[in-house]
Amino acid sequence: MCRTGRFGLENLGVKRYHGIYRVCGTGYWGQTAISDFIPAGSHRPENMQTRTLKSDLLLLIAAFFWGTTFVAQRAGMNYLGPMTYNALRFAVGALTVVPVILMFRRSGLMVEQPRGTRFLLCGGILAGLALFGGASMQQMGLVHTTAGKASFITSLYVVLVPIAGLFLGHRCGVPVWVGAILAVAGLYLLSVTESFTIGRGDLLVLVGAFFWTVHVLLIDYLAKRANPLHIAGIQFLVCSALSLLAAVLFEPIALPAIIPATIPILYGGVLSAGVAFTLQIFCQRTSPPSHAAIVMSLETVFAALSGYLILHERFTPRDLLGCALMFSGLMVVQLPLLLGSPTTRKPGPDAPPATAGSP
């Protein structure tokens, strides 16, 4: 590990390798393996604002893919059952990660495995189990509810993550509780009928939100201690295998039905699972928690707009008020981060988790 000295690039933790300077030392990546690469002759490494802007843009792309994938998920179930769709979708996602791993390995930019293979496998399997729970509940719920409503209900994990952090020793301030009240009020308007019942689809998606909460907490812990690409690949394979098992047990599988569902499968697998989930894992290592939480919350907006434009879904005035209250709750939860709470520091192994998106 390089230490910061008083004079020169090399004393600032920048070493020269084959015509380029590499920034050494513990930074946003949490390891010394690959923090930054800049051309030889440059006078300083990439500044903090540039790194943050890049991370925010990548998170916005991930949020767009996740939001619009709600439409692809509904479209895919015109031909396939929920578990069959998920099995194929996450299998494609796992295959998408493979060339990225090979590219990083050949270029020498692959992050080292500090905790060993056993830790990686156990962590990846646990993340895959949480991913399977969240994705299954969400996919089954979409059979009975709209893409827009499902996205807003799923977004409750943004409120649930800091509350769950209480059990991990994290403090939970007043804005979290205010945000939780707003989110619950919005959920009531969005999903609970005048007879005080909740639709089957909304209930399944709500259960899925608790699995997404566990998934965010697991990824926050694992991404700082293991290779993020390997985590992504393992969790996709686990989720795909469990979904296939469930499909074999509970759904009729018709191979000819896969062909017309190709586009929804590829969109959900390549862009939402393979690209966006991988971006999530990397950006949770590099993006300030406040930025990650706010940008990923825009997933709900993209889902509602795409559902309106593509599936012609409509919200009643009551639904719109519920969505507005839920989105307000998501924003209020992030106030401590935006106002300069200590959690706005760069992520470290023990930093509170940054909420991230769901497929």
Cβ atoms of 130 and 214 within 8 Å: the answer is: yes
Same domain, 198 and 302: yes
Q: Could you tell me the strand order of the sheet in which 20-23 lies?
A: 14-17, 20-23, 36-39
Look at residue 352 and tell me if it is in a domain: no
Look at 110-114, 150-154, 195-199 and tell me which has the smallest mean pLDDT. Answer: 110-114
Average pLDDT over residues 210-230: 86
Share of the chain above pLDDT 90, in %: 27
Same domain, 229 and 313: yes
Look at 122-126, 161-165, 223-227, 288-292 and tell me which has the smallest mean pLDDT. Answer: 288-292
In degrees and rounded to multiples of 5, residue 348 shows phi and psi of -135, 180
Cβ atoms of 39 and 46 within 8 Å: the answer is: no
Look at 29-33, 206-210, 341-345 and tell me which has the smallest mean pLDDT. Answer: 29-33
Helix orientation angle between 278-286 and 48-76, rounded to the nearest 10 degrees? 150
Band of pLDDT at residue 81, cut at 50, 70 and 90? very high
Look at residue 270 and tell me if it is in a domain: yes
Same domain, 36 and 129: no
Domain extent, residue 5, equals 1-46
- Cβ contacts of 123 within 8 Å, gap of 6 or more: 218, 221, 222, 225, 226, 231
Same domain, 59 and 196: yes
User: What's the pLDDT tens digit per position in 154-196?
Assistant: 888 878 888 887 777 777 778 878 888 888 888 888 877 766 6
- Cα torsion 257, 258, 264, 268 to 10°: value is 140
Residue 85 has which token pair?
A: 């769709």
Same domain, 174 and 205: yes
* Inter-CA distances, 162 with 169, 172, 277, Å: 10, 6, 21
Look at 5-14, 87-96, 334-343 and tell me which has the smallest mean pLDDT. Answer: 5-14
Same domain, 41 and 171: no
Same domain, 5 and 102: no
Same domain, 14 and 81: no
The reported pLDDT for the residue numbered 109 is 60
The H-assigned helical ranges of the chain are 48-76, 82-107, 116-141, 147-154, 157-164, 174-191, 200-222, 228-250, 262-266, 278-286, 289-297, 299-310, 317-333, 335-338
Band of pLDDT at residue 12, cut at 50, 70 and 90? very low
Classify residue 221 as exposed, middle or buried by CB count within 10 Å of its CB (0-12, 13-18, 19+). Answer: middle
Residue 155 has which token pair?
A: 């977004």
Look at residue 246 and tell me if it is in a domain: yes
CA distance 182 to 225: 35
Would you tell me how many other CB atoms lie within 10 Å of the CB of residue 232? 28
Look at residue 288 and tell me if it is in a domain: yes
- Cβ contacts of 57 within 8 Å, gap of 6 or more: none
Would you tell me how many other CB atoms lie within 10 Å of the CB of residue 171? 13
Look at residue 356 and tell me if it is in a domain: no
Q: Is the pLDDT of residue 115 over 80?
A: no
Look at residue 351 and tell me if it is in a domain: no
Domain boundary among 30, 46, 62: 46
The reported pLDDT for the residue numbered 328 is 86
Band of pLDDT at residue 359, cut at 50, 70 and 90? low
The reported pLDDT for the residue numbered 68 is 93
Same domain, 177 and 317: yes
Number of domains in the chain: 2
Same domain, 182 and 276: yes
Look at residue 55 and tell me if it is in a domain: yes
The reported pLDDT for the residue numbered 263 is 94
The reported pLDDT for the residue numbered 20 is 35
Domain boundary among 16, 31, 46: 46
Domain boundary among 12, 30, 46: 46
Same domain, 283 and 318: yes
Name, of 54-63, 151-160, 162-171, 247-256, the range with top average pLDDT.
247-256
Mean of all residue pLDDT scores within the chain: 76
Average pLDDT over residues 98-124: 78
What's the pTM value of the predicted model, to 2 decimals? Answer: 0.75
DSSP secondary structure letter of residue 10 = G
Same domain, 28 and 116: no
Look at residue 8 and tell me if it is in a domain: yes
Average pLDDT over residues 342-358: 45
The dihedral region occupied by 188, where left means phi > 0, alpha psi between -120 and 50, and beta the remainder, is alpha
